[in-house]
Amino acid sequence: MKKSILIIIIMILITITTNSWATAQISDENKTINLLGEAENNVKEVSIDSIGMKFKVNKDMYDVVHGLETGDEKVKDLTSAKANFAQLGIVFDAVDSIDENSFSKEFVVMVSRSAGTEKIGNLSSISEEELNKVSTDFFQELEETTEEVTFDETKIIKSQNKNVYMVAISHQEIDKGTMNIATYYTVVAKRLVAITFRYLNKELDDTEINQTIESITFDIEKIEKDEQTALVRTFVAYGVIGLAIIILGIIERKTYPKKAIKIEEKEKKEYQKMGGFLLIFIVTLGLTVLNSLNSFSSFNELEQITFKIIFYIENIATLLLIIGIMFLLLKKKEIKTPKRIEKILIIMGIINILSSIIRIIISLNDSQTFYMTQYYLQESISILANLAYMVIWSTYFVVSKRVHIYYQIPFEIKTNK
């Protein structure tokens, strides 16, 4: 069984390393900020590579995010805020002073993603009618979620670069006075980009704001290409992992019967009882049953009737097959039991994998319902998990010393007396 444990460890290592390689581009959402060129005409150009964004900002503004990433001593007191920046999706934060007593303005860029932004894609690409509906719903939700902020004006504008923004002008009373705020929201490559200007005890500087907004460009093609590449790499990685699992399982099955297995006498006595990985297998069956039962409550939320039917069939079949396995485990020991359990596990794995594949095919041909990118990743992970479960445990019932001794299956043994 030591070799089986080694195989499982190798699989885990392959999963970790390959998945890290595959998702490298996706996880860069809050990173990669570069200052480009020398300051010119009192402004400097900034590039946020992760969202293909370039803009110009006052050269005297200090970039807090860049300072935190480079370990600048000026922001050593803000190091603890770095995690919050990442959590909030802040990719750029420029202030005119890091001294609270002389601070008067701030320029922040935040990036987030949701089902709504994935559905919109790019705000500049939707129709006027849809834009009006999206903006109305957006501003209504914004006012409901920010009660302490008073909104003075909301509007839609289009820049010379053909970017479309939903603009919210507001003010907020804080301890040090009044904070006047102008936030420009847009959706680019399925991401919500919020560009916020804050002025403490000063009126909004429309000239400065307009110059920055008009300087903003997004390389949408690059963003979409990078995302497609990252998704392809992810699916290739999952495919590699799945293939590795199958190959390792086949190798273990093929080589096991050809070897004389060395077993200690005390080991032989111990293996005549239920225990070890056999008990862990039973625990995994219990967890699968609980997961299936919990899944039934979420089926009613599905709008796609075909999805509901597939989910019901998959979960009912899984529960029935697990009941069959438990029946075999609890009945009198029989030499054929491991082979029967192995077949049931293979059938269960095939049903679950086919269910995911069918759902993916249906979703790709469903023009009425929107499916997030994350949905396809979840289905891919589900396929990989079911494949791993099927191969690992069906192989276990073929090669396990405990299973052979427990069910008195003949195989070549070397014993130490």
Average pLDDT over residues 62-79: 83
Q: Is the pLDDT of residue 321 over 50?
A: yes
pLDDT digits (tens, 9 = 90+) for 297-313: 666 665 667 888 888 89
DSSP class of 76: G
- pLDDT computed for residue 30 by the predictor: 41
How much of the chain, in percent, has pLDDT values that exceed 70? Answer: 82
3-state secondary structure of 46: strand
Least confident of 7-16, 17-26, 133-142, 200-209: 17-26
- pLDDT computed for residue 109 by the predictor: 94
Higher-confidence residue of 266 and 338: namely 338
Beta carbons of 139 and 156 less than 8 angstroms apart:
no
Alpha helices, DSSP H only, in 169-304? Answer: 206-215, 220-255, 265-270, 276-299
DSSP class of 28: G
Closest CA to 153 of 145, 144, 163, 143: 143
Q: Residue 318: which residues within 8 A CB-CB, separation 6 or more? A: 288, 292, 348, 351, 352
Q: How far apart are CA 58 and CA 211, in angstroms?
A: 10
**DSSP-assigned states of every residue in 353-373:** HHHHHHHHHHHHT-SSS---H
Ramachandran category for residue 179: left, alpha or beta (phi over 0 → left; psi -120 to 50 → alpha): beta
Confidence category of residue 28, pLDDT binned at 50, 70, 90: very low
Task: Please give the CATH topology (third level) of the domain spanning 28-219.
Answer: Protein Transport Mog1p; Chain A (3.40.1000)
* DSSP bridge partners of 36: 45
Q: Residue 154: which residues within 8 A CB-CB, separation 6 or more? A: 135, 139, 166, 167, 168, 169
What is the pTM assigned to this prediction? 0.67
Q: Is the pLDDT of residue 40 over 70?
A: no
Average pLDDT over residues 60-67: 87
Question: Where along the chain do its domains lie?
Answer: 28-219, 259-416
- pLDDT computed for residue 300 by the predictor: 61
Tokens of residue 304, six digits:
């796609």
Beta carbons of 23 and 238 less than 8 angstroms apart:
no
Beta carbons of 372 and 190 less than 8 angstroms apart:
no
With vertex at residue 168, the alpha carbon angle to CA 92 and CA 147, rounded to the nearest 5 degrees, is 95
- pLDDT computed for residue 270 by the predictor: 76
pLDDT digits (tens, 9 = 90+) for 194-227: 999 999 999 999 999 999 999 999 988 888 787 7
pLDDT digits (tens, 9 = 90+) for 366-404: 766 667 777 888 888 889 889 989 998 998 888 888 888
Q: How far apart are CA 75 and CA 71, in angstroms?
A: 8
* DSSP bridge partners of 217: 54
